[in-house]
Chain A
Amino acid sequence: MRTSPALRRIVPVLAASALVFAACGSDDDSDSTEATDAPTETDAAAATDAPAATDAPAAGGEGCDATISDGVLTVATGEPAFYPWVIDDAPETGDGFEAAVAYAVAAEMGYDEASVEWARTTFDEAIQPGAKNFDMNLQQYSITEERRENIDFSLPYYTSNQAIVALEGSAAEGATTVADLVDVKFGAQAGTTSLAFIEEVIQPSQDVFVYDDNVGAKAALEANQIDAAVFDLPTALYVSGVEIEGSLVVGQFPADAGGTTDEFGFVLEKDSALTPCVDAAITAITDSGELDAITQEWLADFTGAPVITVE
């Protein structure tokens, strides 16, 4: 009878709060380091609604020195970073589309190669509240209005289509319209806009299976658990060409065939002083044609696939 009633009363309260906090903290079954995101409902609209790029200061101007460590621009990517976005998981070489874009943007912002440092984060680390260990983060983050509530996005640096990967002989093979895909069993990567794309555009008759990464989708294809998986087009071409033997890209869904596109932007801390500066830099490399040249250099081989029309 000594302390037990007191304990009995307090413990549930503490336990309940502990559980809530534990549940908040220890998530992470869902996102691997690379969030190969694709668009959702926002698609092209996101670009035009993007935050005030017009009144941003000139490149290398005001706000551009608001980095976490003076004189150094810390850029984050995934762990590991994937081909063709970063070659050989070595972004500091500038090889690979996103690595090259990061250095081009940094140059516009007034940071030379020596002043750029790389960090690695998961998707969760990029969106968590509080201090960040990076100034800007690029790992195929799709720009969506919902996400913008909690993080800043730059203007888009790439626009991608969704694409379907299947094993040869799959039920999805030879599809030319979305109607051909209704009875296909789909898989997608958690936390990507590909998943939303399947559910909202293809609307298959069976539940979609969801995996942490490409590896899970690959295993499920081989285990006959799904007929096809959806990725952004460059990832789809890489996955089918290199990672999954005997697979092919069945088709892509370009915007002019009724598909939704996926716009990738840098992620920055919510209301970051750096965002207008990054936007100005992206505008500058877009206008100068430098972004096109980088896209040609690294992604020219990542555009060819049959077109699937959406109604």
Chain B
Amino acid sequence: MTDRSTRREIYERSRRRRSIFIATTSTIVVVAAMIVLVPMAPGWDRVRQSFFDGDVFAETFPGLVEAFWLDVRILLWSTPLILVVALLVALARNTRSPALFPLRAFAIIYTDVLRGIPVILLVFLIGFGVPALGLSRTWANPVIWGTVTLVLSYSAYVAEVIRAGIDSVHESQRAAARSLGMTSRQTMGTIVLPQAFRRIVPPLMNSFVSLQKDVALVSLIGPVEILRQAGIDKAKFANFTPYVAAAIIFLAITIPCTRLADWALARQRRRTGATTIA
């Protein structure tokens, strides 16, 4: 038994070393090909000047970081609101009492309609339309209504994720809880939701990363966030480098988020005993 597992370990170690060697070699080949071949293209000098201009980068980067702060603030306001609204919609859709049919119908219409409408239309409709009803300057602020739009749209998506998580908890869990005398509210709060949320952490992270980029849509109704600032700088210098600078700033946030999501996924697989064989 021990002997056999040791031989197996040795074999696996050699396979692992081989995999790492292949991975390293192919990465080097791909990167080297990009570094060597791309500059050989006849238009490379013009492309480099238009997209990777060091002076433009240095001049616009601080302003872009400053503009990114607005994205971060919108993100920080909208994320908890999205989670709360989405949870309420998902719970509404999971009610079972016949008397609550209108609530279920509302939840279904909410998700169907808000996921079906392009976010860009919602941004204009809510961002310009609601304030035009006669709000004071303070309450007409497009940052407020842009955030509301993101919350409406994303909560519809996230509600479906949460609902899928709730549905993924086996019916026997619910039945067992009810047979122990728990109320349906206790069952949902202490038995179903904790299991559901553990399962949907990765897709939720996915939505969060996607939201980071959709915050840029708020700029359509006035506020100057990072992509708008990059567009302004692009027009000022007739150069696309500011977008590259903005991309780097975005990556500084999205890569850690994606890694975090991957880590959460891996941890969950370990905990639920899923195999790691590819």
Contacts and interface: CB of A to CB of B under 8 A. Distances in A.
Interface residues of B, number: 65
A224 interface: yes
B46 A130 contact: yes
Instruction: Please report whether the interface of chain B is mostly helix, strand, loop or mixed according to DSSP.
Output: helix
Contacts of A308: none
Nearest to B216: A29
A190 B27 CA distance: 40
A242 interface: no
Interface stretch (B149-157, B177-185, B217-225): B217-225
B12 interface: yes
Interface string A101-136: 000000000000000000000011001111000000
B220 to A, nearest CB: 7
Contacts of A2: 19, 278
Contacts of B128: 216, 219-220, 222-223, 225
Interface string A75-86: 000000000000
Interface in A1-23: 1-10, 13-14, 16-17, 19-20, 23
Given A5-B19, A130-B43, A223 B30 contact: no
A146 B237 contact: yes
A187 interface: yes
B117 interface: no
Interface stretch (B163-171, B186-194, B197-205, B240-248): B240-248
B231 to A, nearest CB: 2
Interface stretch (A204-212, A231-239, A280-288): A204-212
B23 A209 contact: no
Given A130-B43, A150-B50, A208-B224, A222 B132 contact: yes
Complex A-B, nearest 3 residue pairs according to Cβ-Cβ distance, in ascending order: A30-B231, A191-B235, A209-B222
Interface of B: 12, 15-16, 19-20, 22-24, 26-27, 30-31, 34, 43, 46-47, 49-51, 53, 124, 127-129, 131-132, 134-137, 140-142, 216-217, 219-224, 227-228, 230-232, 234-240, 243-244, 246-248, 250-251, 254-255, 276-278
Given A24-B51, A130-B46, 20 more contacts: A2-B19, A4-B19, A5-B20, A10-B30, A14-B30, A23-B244, A24-B240, A24-B247, A29-B228, A31-B235, A40-B236, A130-B47, A144-B236, A147-B238, A192-B235, A195-B232, A209-B142, A224-B131, A224-B140, A225-B142
Interface of A: 1-10, 13-14, 16-17, 19-20, 23-24, 27-31, 35, 37, 40, 123-124, 127-130, 144, 146-151, 185, 187, 190-192, 195-196, 207-212, 216, 219-220, 222-226, 270
